[in-house]
Amino acid sequence: MESLTLKFYKKFNVDGIIESVNSFNEEWEIDTSRQNLSYENVGRKNPHRFTKTYMIQYHDLYWTLGQKFVTKVMSNNQNLINQIDPIKNYLEEELDGTVARILIVKLGSESSIDRHVDYGDYLETSRRFHIPLITNDSVIFEVDGDKKHLKSGELWQINNMKPHSVENKKGERVHLIIDVMPKWAIDMGNASV
């Protein structure tokens, strides 16, 4: 994964997911932890401060290697979960792992996600995937100098251990983000219990 910046996997039909997301109102305000997370300990602003998040499946970001792997479904929108299941199942089979976190993230118009690197055992061990739902040609995703416009329905792995950022010059950008934990890391945690 060291040399990987962005890797395309396949395209999915995300019309049903988009339909659910288009009905969101207060759903964007249920969990504000991601956009309100403090980064003062590392001396920078929160790169996600201009985003809004809807958490579908939760796994602790502060998980460490050797800890038990535990996920929790946070959404009661069964229709949305059913729409995401084919993507989840594909990733688990393709990568021989288990989906840890599933979230939908909205970046407002004329906003950006500052260049940053993710850190911690969870983010360094899991593999992060983005599936654009609502996007426009002005949205540019950059990973370590590799800049791309990701089209709606495309499944992309991003190397979040490299500096990455997003620029959105017009309209809202909404992505489905799915993290997959490799089987070996899950087995390590389960063996220590």
CATH code, domain carrying 159: 2.60.120.10
Question: Does 135 map to a domain?
Answer: yes
Task: List the domain range (segments joined by +) for residue 39.
Answer: 6-191
pLDDT of residue 168 exceeding 60, the answer is yes
pLDDT of 2 reads 61
Summarize the confidence of residues 152-158 as an average pLDDT: 97
pTM of the entire predicted model: 0.93
Question: Does 38 map to a domain?
Answer: yes
Distance (Å, whole) CA 63 – CA 41: 18
Question: Does 1 map to a domain?
Answer: no
Structure token digits, residue 33 = 């932890």
Condensed to tens digits (0 to 9), the pLDDT of residues 37-66 reads 766 655 567 878 889 999 999 999 999 999
pLDDT band at 33 (very low <50, low <70, confident <90, very high): confident
Q: Which residues contact 96 (CB under 8 A, 6 or more apart)?
A: 182, 183
pLDDT band at 193 (very low <50, low <70, confident <90, very high): low
pLDDT of residue 75 exceeding 60, the answer is yes
Question: Does 81 map to a domain?
Answer: yes
Question: Does 65 map to a domain?
Answer: yes
Summarize the confidence of residues 4-32 as an average pLDDT: 95
Q: Which residues contact 185 (CB under 8 A, 6 or more apart)?
A: 65, 69, 125, 126
pLDDT of residue 26 exceeding 90, the answer is yes
Summarize the confidence of residues 126-149 as an average pLDDT: 95
Long-range Cβ contact pairs of 146-153 (< 8 A, separation 24 or more): 146/5, 146/6, 148/6, 150/6, 150/175, 151/11, 152/14, 152/18, 153/11, 153/12, 153/13, 153/14
Distance (Å, whole) CA 6 – CA 156: 6
Domain count, the chain: 1
pLDDT of 43 reads 58
Question: Does 141 map to a domain?
Answer: yes
Q: Which residues contact 54 (CB under 8 A, 6 or more apart)?
A: 21, 24, 27, 28, 30, 31, 75, 103, 104, 105
Condensed to tens digits (0 to 9), the pLDDT of residues 82-128 reads 999 999 999 999 999 999 999 999 998 999 988 988 888 999 999 99
